Chain A
Amino acid sequence: MRDVAIVGAGMTRFGELWDASLRDLFVEAALAGLGSAGADRVDSIYVGNMAAGQFVGQEHLGPLMADHLGMHGVPAVRIESACASGGAALRMGFLDIASGQSDLVLVAGVEKMTDGADVTNVLATASDQETEVYHGITFPGLYAMIARLRMERGTTTEEDLHWIAVKNHRHGAMNPKAQFRREISVDDVARSTMVAEPLRMLHCSPVSDGAAAVLLAPLDQARRYTDRPVRIAGSGMATSTIALADRPDPADLDVVRLSAERAYAMAGMSPERVQLAEVHDCFTVAEVCCLEALHLANGSEASQAARTGYSALGGRVPVNTSGGLKSKGHPVGATGVAQVIELFDQLRGEAGERQVPDAHVGLAQNMGGSGASSVVHILERV
């Protein structure tokens, strides 16, 4: 296996981008990524996308996007793992370079969610249609069940969850790419509309359009494109049961633990080395579960991390300095790639107001469904 580096990155703003189509978003992010590395052509393309077929009626995104980049002829394929599609696409690009098959790979995640499709129904297809959706459960409903179980056991309180939204909005307010660039208060969260008890509107990530792209090259060729490459030290993926009911403990995201342990093992690193993390806070409770499962904090520490400042900028392990899915936005297929772009910027010292001082190692965790798939990448400054 060859060492793999990220040598360029670009992304669109996230939000309700009425003027941009699926392909417009992809091309904008890909061009920015290619331009940042001074690259014109790549050996292969991986498109991370969850549901363009349902959102805008478009499948076959590999050739579509290669065509619109003027790169028809180049191998290109769409990678899908629900909301973890971006992370899964990055993993495919990583393996492509590591194997020696390609010397320059474009990985771009994209989702166009605001073109009129019923978003609740589309997102629900990431859970089990036959045993879950049929009976009337929604996606927020599944995470609400995880939250209620934790609250019942006394490991997490409602206020702990409010603070995660507050913290991520505080971070996102400093991110020019974020959908919501405004701070919110604990009261705002506590008073927002109920979606699925105990989760309210401000515990949920929004509906977003957006795209994010990175360029990968072998580490020993990286200096052709940039003087500050970032190495992908570890990549881990795991799956769990598709239905929440089928997990021994529905409040435990075992898939996150397994994907993280694989990434830590490949990187030869312990969790103590991680200085900042982007985790999949599709709902506030997910951030708590992930901190635990990634071994970045233990039980009560994880629940209270946002309130105590442990996971805020300036804390022990700043989490979701980008604003996370909550504030930055969650165009599902783009999210896993955008997480890694935040780490890329941080590890190169280019994160502006959000900069974590002297950051060497960062971790990104991207989740699909109610925790049925998870992808973890560990990045290191070189």
Chain B
Amino acid sequence: MPSPRYTRDIPARYRLDAARCSACGHVALPRRTICSGCRSQDMEPVRLTRRGTVVTSTVIHVPPDEFTTEAPYAMAIIETPEGARLMAQVVDCQAEEVVPGMELSLEFRRIRREGHGGILCYGHKGVPVRRHEA
């Protein structure tokens, strides 16, 4: 992927800038022009809270090339308090611990490196909220 593509995605990936539908309340990340819930075009900007709950998860043992050194690693669909859902890696814990219902904070991390010594790609990863820290 060439670099302009990453630049365009910075609002969603770096800042979790999403859009909320004024008509039905549906929240989309990244922002969309048309609400996928009700087709309204009245979408207002909203920045997501950097925490969420695991909806479902898996542990990837056979990874894509760029993630070879990280496997096995946990991936989850995470729902934020605004009701937005996003796909993210979950780190700083044992991969097997990541199960539906788990509370996570969303932290800004490096996601991947493109090609040989190429562009560093950033975004958010889930990190378990430990009870004694919460």
Spell out A's residues near B (CB within 8 Å).
Answer: 118, 120-121, 124, 130-138, 140-141, 144-146, 148-149, 152, 193-199, 241, 243-246, 250-251
Contacts and interface: CB of A to CB of B under 8 A. Distances in A.
B64 interface: yes
Interface in B93-134: 96, 99-100, 111-112, 121, 123
Nearest to A204: B62
Contacts of B100: 148-149, 152
B60 A136 contact: yes
Contact of B77 (A124, A195, A244): A244
5 contacts: A133-B64, A136-B67, A137-B60, A137-B75, A138-B60
B73 A135 contact: no
Nearest to B125: A135
Contacts of B121: 134
A270 to B, nearest CB: 31
A173 to B, nearest CB: 26
Contacts of A141: 58, 60, 75
Nearest to B79: A245
Contacts of B123: 134-135
B106 to A, nearest CB: 12
A342 B67 CA distance: 39
A136 B77 contact: no
A130 B77 contact: no
A118 B63 CA distance: 12
A145 B73 CA distance: 14
Given A138-B64, A152-B100, A197 B30 contact: no
B63 A138 contact: yes
B77 A120 contact: no
A197 to B, nearest CB: 4
B58 A196 contact: yes
Top 7 nearest A-B pairs (CB, nearest first) are A144-B58, A245-B85, A197-B59, A149-B56, A145-B56, A245-B77, A194-B61
B88 interface: yes
Interface in B34-69: 36, 55-67
A121 B70 CA distance: 17
B10 interface: no
Nearest to B123: A135
A161 to B, nearest CB: 14
Nearest to B96: A197
Contact of A145 (B57, B62, B63): B57
A131 B77 CA distance: 11
Contacts of A243: 87
Contacts of B60: 136-138, 141, 196
Contacts of B86: 131, 245
A124 B29 CA distance: 20
A93 to B, nearest CB: 31
Contacts of B36: 241, 246
Given A121-B65, A193-B61, A245-B87, 19 more contacts: A120-B64, A130-B9, A131-B30, A134-B123, A135-B111, A136-B66, A138-B60, A138-B63, A145-B58, A148-B99, A196-B58, A197-B61, A197-B96, A241-B36, A243-B87, A245-B77, A246-B36, A250-B55, A250-B77
B95 to A, nearest CB: 8
A136 B55 contact: no
A118 B73 contact: no
B34 to A, nearest CB: 13
Among A136, A193, A198, A199, max chain B CB count under 10 A is at: A136
B59 A131 contact: no
A126 to B, nearest CB: 14
Contacts of A137: 60, 75, 87
A135 B57 contact: no
A135 B88 CA distance: 6
A199 B75 CA distance: 14
Contacts of B85: 245-246
Contacts of B88: 135
A136 B126 CA distance: 13
A148 B56 contact: yes
Nearest to A195: B62
> Most chain-B Cβ atoms within 10 A of its Cβ — which of A120, A141, A243?
A141
A38 B36 CA distance: 49
